[in-house]
Structure 1
Amino acid sequence: MTSHLAGTAGPTQLGHPTHHFEMRFSSTPRGARLSRRLCGERLDAWGIPYGTDAHDTLTLLVAEMSANAIRHGRVPGRDFHVRLTTHGTAVRIEVTDTRGERFPVTATEPPGVDCTVGRGLLLVECLADGWGWFPRTCGGPGKTVWAVYTGPRTERQGASRP
């Protein structure tokens, strides 16, 4: 897994995107649900059909990252922004919120079986081929969390990634 933390020059660039979708959503559960549904629709239109492993994984990544934006990055009255791009076979997801003082951190150990929170970034870490975050680039407060997914791989289960 590749993870870029604060202080890096920014996200790894993948070249010119083949497809591009971006939109602002309200920082509410309804906004997070809408971002997942619209990104799922875009993926299907781009040739990653509903019901495939790639589509299911990508919509789960969008859902988790959007949920984190409204739970941990929410500032009342401010929206979050989702950008979805394809670069050949790779799909990049970026979710930008407006809370700059809270940074994404993965748990050092999995949450207990009775715990109902704390699994979002663990899912992102397990499902994405790389993820990280960088400070918001448009001049305002906040951060962008990104993930790159290149497709299903059989060695994902229990294997470490390069």
Structure 2
Amino acid sequence: MQAAEAATPIPSGTRIGHVHLKVADLERALGFYCGVLGFQLMQRLGDQAAFISAGGYHHHIGLNTWESKGGSPPPPGSTGLYHTAILYPTRAALADALHRVLQAGIALDGASDHGVSEALYLRDPDDNGVELYRDRPEAEWPRSADGALSMFTRRLDLDDLLRTRVA
């Protein structure tokens, strides 16, 4: 099957509303997403599912054990979700997220400055990839001499990021 170009592009206002993750242990997942990252629990269905949010939205992330209770992560080399990206509104908010992650003893897989954004990469307790990031204002995006977007990947200075944290 060949990739097909859409006859009509998707509207520019379209966005991802939420992601739903299969987890092995709901309490453990809630400990990470609510206890470490600070999401709010909006609704819970016993020990089978929970819906969490930033800022009171009905849910940004659904967590469930319907097909995965006690299960293990997919093996390397299999298809599936690469990561869930969580967009923070400011650099200070991203710095606070980094502080929370480090305080919880969670290792980072990486930290990158992409020119247009700054990103932290880690794993949740079920080995799902998680990206915590903030976008730079478009006026700060790197551009070549002809004005074309010039993204890159460089190591993010974590100490500099943490200095922007509002305690």
TM-score between both structures, scaled by the size of structure 2:
0.28
Tell me which protein shows more helix as a share of its residues.
Answer: 1
Structure showing greater Rg: 2
Higher relative contact order (CA 8 A, sep 6+): 1
